[in-house]
Amino acid sequence: MVLPSTKKAYAYTVLSASWNGTFATYSKNANLGSLYSIAVDDAANDWSNSSSPFDFVADSASANNIRFDARSELGYTTVTYTPSTRTINSFIISMDNIPPFPWWIGGAMPMNYYDFRTAVRHELGHALGLGHTDTSNRLMSTTLPPNTARSVDADAINGSRFMYDSSYTGSPPERSYYGLTLPPYSGPGTYDDQSTAISYGGWAPNWLTFNPAANAGFSTISRTGTIGSRAHIALGPSTVNKITLFYSTGPDRRNANVYIDQVNVGSINAQTPEYRRQVGKTWAMTSAASHSFEVRFGPNAGLFDVDMFAVNIATVGSGTYNNTDAQLRYFGTWVPTTGISGAYNADHTISNTAGSLFRFAFDGDQITYYYTTAYNRGKAAITIDGVDKGYIDMYTLLTYRQQSTTFGNLGPGTHILNVNVTGQKNLLSLGTYVDVDVLNVP
């Protein structure tokens, strides 16, 4: 794939896992011999002497070993990591020595020989957590032609800074990478925080996985408390017209900034009095091209998490949607109940379990939420597009069906309604129940 010229600065990918620190040790196998051992040190020093924040340190006792091996490619790096913490644990670099392999390490380079130091620099890039790029003529390109030398270039340095420097604000990665084949850009679908399509930077172990996370989209979230930490997904090229970020809000949650193609398109305030899962906000894409979407935590100290990304989330338009409609997505403990006299369709769905929620994605400037008020009702927390809309107190001494609250002036486009059972209530109420009867989008 040839990337558009405007994307050339993004010529790196990341494993979305990194070392627990900014250096790694390495040892050299005796089968390298003295001259190739020196060349390995040269390549490692090229990384350490660059503006990359990551260093390689020679240590004869290190389990991270660089060696000659019988391979069918120039070099191969095996990286082990712990997915739950996104921490790289070790690496083995195997350089091909099927005789007579035409490696070059000094003097005039004969035709059809390969620069050994360049190949080692490339493999060390994998060892620190970089993947391949499909842009040509880069250190981390998938192929190295003969008679070609490549330094630790700006794109490789950007990749290492994305992963290990929380102050980095430059080019994001093309996409996240885990295998030998560069994955496609992320198209329509839902990507859990654990998806390999998401790359975490500044550095990856700053993002902690919580599993299970009650009422999260796929029961997991990735959370950070380090300012400058970022989560990134590459979109496109032509089938993406919007992206929705789902995250949690709560008393310890703080702000994050959102960037599309490196342009700040707004901020998120994730602080609410109680915890609310699957709060969502949608951004439209203005052109049919590949895009980068990045969330950067900060500037205020606290916490922020990523639940999932939804690309081209399914929505509905004008209409009336009963509580049983599939567009209402329930999480937690909800009980559908029939035979409800006075309800829109003689039914409703009800919960008194704090933290339970339903969400609803729609297109339109306004939405009306219908519910029952009664002696045993509690308070529902309302969030629309990440904005705290306050509470609906559903307590009344008598029972009243099809009571309603309207939220208007939302603007055109896609909106995400989130209704959360708080477990709170009026002092006079005998319960904390919250129900949904019907939703109406005019």
- pLDDT reading at 396 higher than 50: yes
Domains of the chain (ranges; CATH) run: 5-164 (3.40.390.10), 189-311 (2.60.120.260), 319-441 (2.60.120.260)
Q: What is the pLDDT of residues 100-110, one digit of tens each?
A: 789 999 989 99
Q: Which residues contact 221 (CB under 8 A, 6 or more apart)?
A: 193, 209, 210, 213, 247, 248, 305, 306, 307
200 — pLDDT class (breaks 50, 70, 90)? confident
Average pLDDT rounded to a whole number, residues 213-230 = 94
Q: What is the pLDDT of residues 417-441, one digit of tens each?
A: 999 999 999 999 999 999 999 999 9
Q: What is the pLDDT of residues 240-264, one digit of tens each?
A: 899 999 999 999 999 999 999 888 9
* Confidence (pLDDT) at 179: 47
Q: What is the pLDDT of residues 29-40, one digit of tens each?
A: 999 999 999 999
- Whole-angstrom distance, CA of residue 48 vs CA of residue 51: 8
- Whole-angstrom distance, CA of residue 60 vs CA of residue 40: 13
- Whole-angstrom distance, CA of residue 384 vs CA of residue 366: 11
Q: What is the pLDDT of residues 30-88, one digit of tens each?
A: 999 999 999 999 999 999 999 999 999 999 999 999 999 987 789 999 999 887 778 89
- Whole-angstrom distance, CA of residue 229 vs CA of residue 186: 21
Q: What percent of the chain has pLDDT over 70?
A: 94
- List beta partners, residue 256: 268, 297
- Whole-angstrom distance, CA of residue 440 vs CA of residue 372: 15
On average, the pLDDT of the chain sits at 91
Q: What percent of the chain has pLDDT over 90?
A: 75
* Backbone dihedral angles phi then psi of residue 333, each to the nearest 5 degrees: -110, 110
* Confidence (pLDDT) at 399: 98
Q: What is the pLDDT of residues 157-168, one digit of tens each?
A: 999 998 899 889
* Confidence (pLDDT) at 184: 61
Q: What is the pLDDT of residues 298-333, one digit of tens each?
A: 999 999 999 999 999 999 999 999 999 999 999 999
CA proximity to 15, closest of 203, 155, 167: 203
More confident residue, 287 or 4: 287
